[in-house]
Amino acid sequence: MSAVDELERLRHGDAVVDRSDRGFVLVTGPDTLSFLQALVSADLDAVADGEGAHSLLLTPQGKLDVDFRLLRAGDDAWLDCDPGLGAQLAASLNRFKIRVQAEVVDRSGEDAMVSVVGRDGNVDVPDAVDAHREVDGVRIVRTAWGHDRIAPRSHAHALPAATVGPVAYEAWRIERGIPVQPYDLDDATIPQEAFLEQDAVSFTKGCFLGQELVCRIDTRGHVNRFLRRVTAIEGDWPVRGADVVVDGKVVGALTSVAPAEVPTGALGYVRHEVEPPSAVELRWDGGAARAVVSPLAG
């Protein structure tokens, strides 16, 4: 099956993607939830056993350290994040573990995960996004597009086989406006620039790491750039890092570009003055194109 055909399966909600390269971290111990509550951006007091939350670990300066999902299982917390970030997440949490009874373990490479895009009538999936349950050693987690199944690699035979590959999935996630670290999100990212505050930041909980900058922007300020989708690209196919240009002035740069064989578009940061939809030019060494800056979602 070609990548174009696989993309159509994703668009129609009939696909399974192997995402076992994600980072996985397990936090256990009697102080697990209070320890994390004092550090991360989500309000974990509102997360019950069998529920989960999108959250951020920020730097003290309010910039992004790691974007992750937290699943509460009893008094334990299972965290997963973008590929290559598990060790960083575990190390950052351990850095703040002072007189705390909690153990932080990087399980990256020990767990396997597949994402089911669409419905699967053979599996009882919880109703709420990030809610989860364990069935025969497999953790089933509701997502916005279907569900994930997570299991130890020793139990990976219980997971369904992938039906689409990474090329089609990359094109689909860019089309859907889903940012990833370290390309669309990095250590210079302020949550509001990528709209992460919409579901990953609580402005009513107590203190958390980096709270001052995030709350100050929410109440009194603004950010200078926003993450946008770049669509309707005409001309040469762009590369990551290509400049976004309006009236001869560079106003941003591309951070992710869909593979040329499935050219769904790109993601990039653009100055806040450039309101979508806006016509722009893309320029890079050896190429140029016309495009439209569109909202990240929709």
Which tens digits make up the pLDDT trace of 76-90? 999 999 999 999 999
For residue 298, CA distances in Å to 8, 9, 200, 277 come to 18, 19, 19, 12
- Residue 122: pLDDT band (50, 70, 90) is confident
pLDDT value at residue 218: 84
pLDDT value at residue 297: 86
Within the chain, which residue ranges are assigned CATH 3.30.1360.120? 3-166
Amino acid present at 130: D
Of 64-68, 120-124, 184-188, give the lowest mean pLDDT range: 120-124
The three-state secondary structure class of 9 is helix
Predicted confidence (pLDDT) per residue in 258-293, tens digit: 999 999 999 999 999 999 999 999 999 999 999 999
Element of type H or E holding 225:
strand 225-235
185-89-139-116 Cα dihedral, nearest 10 degrees: 20
Asked whether residue 250 carries a pLDDT value surpassing 70, the answer given is yes
pLDDT value at residue 212: 93
Element of type H or E holding 287:
strand 287-294
DSSP bridge pairs for 55: 68
Per DSSP, the residues of 32-50 read: HHHHHHTTSSS-GGG--TT
For residue 276, CA distances in Å to 244, 250, 273, 283 come to 13, 16, 9, 19
Domain 176-294 falls under CATH 2.40.30.160? yes
Element of type H or E holding 91:
helix 86-95
pLDDT value at residue 96: 94
Q: What's the mean pLDDT in 31-40?
A: 98
Q: What's the mean pLDDT in 186-201?
A: 97
Instruction: Give me the percent of the chain exceeding a pLDDT of 90.
Output: 95
pLDDT value at residue 298: 66
Domain 3-166 falls under CATH 1.10.3210.10? no
Residue count of the chain, please give it: 298
Q: What's the mean pLDDT in 103-117?
A: 97
pLDDT value at residue 1: 85
- Residue 188: pLDDT band (50, 70, 90) is very high
Instruction: Give me the percent of the chain exceeding a pLDDT of 70.
Output: 100
Mean pLDDT, all residues of the chain = 96
Predicted model pTM: 0.96
pLDDT value at residue 161: 96
For residue 96, CA distances in Å to 20, 37, 100, 194, 209 come to 28, 12, 9, 26, 10
Within the chain, which residue ranges are assigned CATH 2.40.30.160? 176-294
Q: Are 244 and 280 in contact (CB under 8 A)?
A: yes
Q: What's the mean pLDDT in 136-158?
A: 95
